[in-house]
Amino acid sequence: MNGPIQFEVRDRIGILTLNRPEKLNALIPEMAEGFMDALSKSAEPGVKALLLRGSGRAFCAGGDIGWMLQSLKEGRIEEMKALLNLGAKVSHGLKTLPKPVIAVVQGPAAGAGMSLALGADLRIATPDAQFSMAFVKIGLHPDWGGSVMLSMLVNPAQALELMFTGEAIDAKRAYDLGLVNQIVDAEVLEDVLKFLCARLAHGPSEAFASIKRSALRNTGHTPESLLALLEEEGRQMAATAQSADAREGLTAFVEKRMPKFA
């Protein structure tokens, strides 16, 4: 398969691979069908867990900045909103999938890429992994569940610091904050994943599903309240995307210069 999303089931483990390595797996609307198909197939009884991966040297660099800027210049706001709606659906789908979801982060997980990783239940990172809520650097509000999931995982001050600054943190810092479960050298990553996947593949499906429901409930949410938060996040992102600051931030990024915000 050569699409932007690849999905396969191997030994009862679903594997979703972002497949735009030349663009650091940046997210685009054309990924919608692949994401939703992967979530649907992962919910089938024969699948015990889902792995999220990126092809090439990055997990995911977030939204495709060039595409976003062109969309805004051409007034294609509905396409932008469609990508935000996809992010809410994917984030919600990962959190309500009655199976363990593991993100395997190598290289950058920036912007919506970090959001996507945070939507998983567990995160395994290689030492070169970098996490960044980079939205603010281009004048945008977090999307793809980033503000919601980050606030569930770290204390409010730390969540705000990461969102206000957009600065990248390395795998060790992410581990110290509780964002990463394990840091694994690239040389042994596949062996570690093979062991974990074998364990999950022989695990109790009903218990996994029950644990996922409890984990969500213990954060004070239901599937419905979580979806409402994710949709509101998308609306906030859509509003900032149409601001002068966002236009300047996106343009500056493409032109490789520092933005001059109002």
Q: Is residue 210 part of a domain?
A: no
Q: What is the average pLDDT across 2-9?
A: 94
- Tell me which residue range forms the domain holding 89: 5-186+226-252
- 147: Cβ contacts below 8 Å, ≥ 6 apart: 141, 159, 163, 233
Does some domain include residue 216?
no
- Mean of the per-residue pLDDT values for the chain? 96
* Interaxial angle between packed helices 65-73 and 244-254, expressed in degrees from 0 to 180 and rounded to the nearest 10: 130
Q: Are 237 and 141 in contact (CB under 8 A)?
A: yes
Give me the number of domains the chain comprises.
1
Q: What average pLDDT does this structure show over 238-244?
A: 92
Residue from 50, 38, 142, 148 nearest 92 by CA: 148
The verdict on residue 126 lying in a domain is yes
User: Residue 139 falls within a domain, yes or no?
Assistant: yes
On the question of pLDDT at 84 being above 60, the answer is yes
Rg (CA), the chain: 18
**Closest C-alpha among 234, 237, 255, 256 to residue 246:** 237
Share of the chain above pLDDT 90, in %: 91
Between CA 20 and CA 133 the distance in angstroms is 20
Sign of the C-alpha dihedral computed for residues 175, 106, 115 and 61 taken in this order: positive
Give the per-residue pLDDT at 179: 98
pLDDT at 72: 84
Digit-coded pLDDT (tens) for 198-240: 999 999 999 999 999 999 999 999 999 999 999 999 999 999 9
User: Is residue 125, in this structure, part of any structural domain at all?
Assistant: yes
Using a 10 angstrom Cβ sphere, with 0-12 exposed, 13-18 middle and 19 or more buried, the burial of residue 1 is exposed
pLDDT in the model for residue 210: 98
Contact 249, 259 (CB under 8 A): yes
| pLDDT average, residue stretch 51-57 | 97
State both tokens at 112. 């919506």
Q: What is the pLDDT of residues 26-46, one digit of tens each?
A: 999 999 999 999 999 999 999
Q: DSSP labels for 44-80?
A: STT--EEEEEESTT-SB--B-HHHHHHHHHTT-HHHH
The one-character DSSP state at 258 is -
Mean local confidence (pLDDT), 74-99? 93
Give residue 75's pLDDT. 86
Residues forming beta bridges with residue 7, ordered by sequence position: 16
Q: Is the pLDDT of residue 123 over 80?
A: yes
Looking at residue 262, its pLDDT comes to 87
Rounded average pLDDT over 12-22:
97
In a domain, 239, yes or no: yes
- Read off the CATH number of the domain in which 79 is found: 3.90.226.10
Per-residue pLDDT, averaged over 10-27, amounts to: 97
pLDDT at position 71:
86
- Structural domain contains residue 211: no
Question: Minimum mean pLDDT among 32-36, 62-66, 120-124: which range?
Answer: 62-66
Which contiguous run of DSSP H or E holds residue 34?
helix 32-42
Q: Is the pLDDT of residue 1 over 60?
A: no
Q: How far is CA 123 from CA 43, 174, 175, in A?
A: 20, 10, 9
The pLDDT-based confidence of 79 (bands split at 50, 70, 90) is confident
Among 16-20, 76-80, 125-129, 154-158, the range scoring the smallest mean pLDDT is 76-80
Q: Is 62 left (phi over 0), alpha (psi -120 to 50) or beta?
A: left
CB contact set of 115 (below 8 Å; sequence gap of 6+): 62, 87, 91, 133, 142, 143, 144, 145, 146, 149
In a domain, 141, yes or no: yes
Residue 127 CA to residue 164 CA, distance in Å, equals: 25
